[in-house]
């Protein structure tokens, strides 16, 4: 069997930890929407609990077939009314903690799927 090195054609999450995500060589310390061809900053700036139906509806602009919802350090579920626009557009939604969403994004992007990962990070406590 012969192996060939292939450079990824999409953004790849290369690291993550508490309060940060690395995509390629760029590190983010804020929530992002990760798409195969770009990273959109500023997702969930006030935290997961402050997300609105409009925040989820905006995800449709990238025409995903599936949205991975990374909810922070633990898995939490958004109220179905917040996800209505995605459901009505027949976009699949998978909810998981942010680290699992990062790993799943890498797999789906490598398969050339139209995936969007909406990744929330934990807000740091203000001293």
Domain boundaries along the sequence of the chain: 30-119
Average pLDDT over residues 55-76: 95
Angle at 126 between CA 123 and CA 127, to 5 degrees: 145
Residue 5 has pLDDT above 50, yes or no: no
Residue 4 has pLDDT above 80, yes or no: no
Query: If you write DSSP's letter for every residue of 10-62 in order, what string do you get?
Result: S--EEEEETTEEEETTEEESS-EEEETTEEEE-SSTT-GGG--HHHHHGGGGG
Separation between Cα atoms, residue 77 and residue 114, nearest integer Å: 22
Residue 123: the pLDDT is: 57
Higher pLDDT, 47 or 100: 100
Residue 9: the pLDDT is: 59
Query: Which secondary-structure segment (H or E) carries 99?
Result: helix 98-110
CATH superfamily of 30-119: MTH938-like (3.40.1230.10)
Q: What are the pLDDT digits (tens) for 103-123?
A: 999 999 999 999 999 999 875
Residue 125 has pLDDT above 70, yes or no: no
């Amino acid at each position: 069997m012969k192996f060939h090195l292939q450079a990824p054609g999409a953004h790849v999450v290369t690291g993550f930890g508490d309060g940060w995500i690395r995509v390629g060589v760029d590190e983010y310390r804020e929530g992002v929407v990760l798409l195969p061809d770009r990273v959109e900053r500023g997702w969930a700036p006030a935290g997961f609990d402050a997300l609105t139906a409009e925040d989820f509806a905006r995800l449709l602009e990238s025409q995903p077939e599936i949205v991975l919802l990374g909810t922070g350090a633990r898995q939490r579920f958004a109220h179905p009314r917040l996800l209505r626009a995605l459901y009505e557009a027949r976009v699949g939604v998978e909810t998981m903690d942010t680290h699992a969403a990062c790993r799943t994004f890498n797999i789906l992007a490598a398969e050339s799927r139209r995936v969007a990962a909406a990744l929330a990070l934990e807000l740091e406590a203000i001293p």
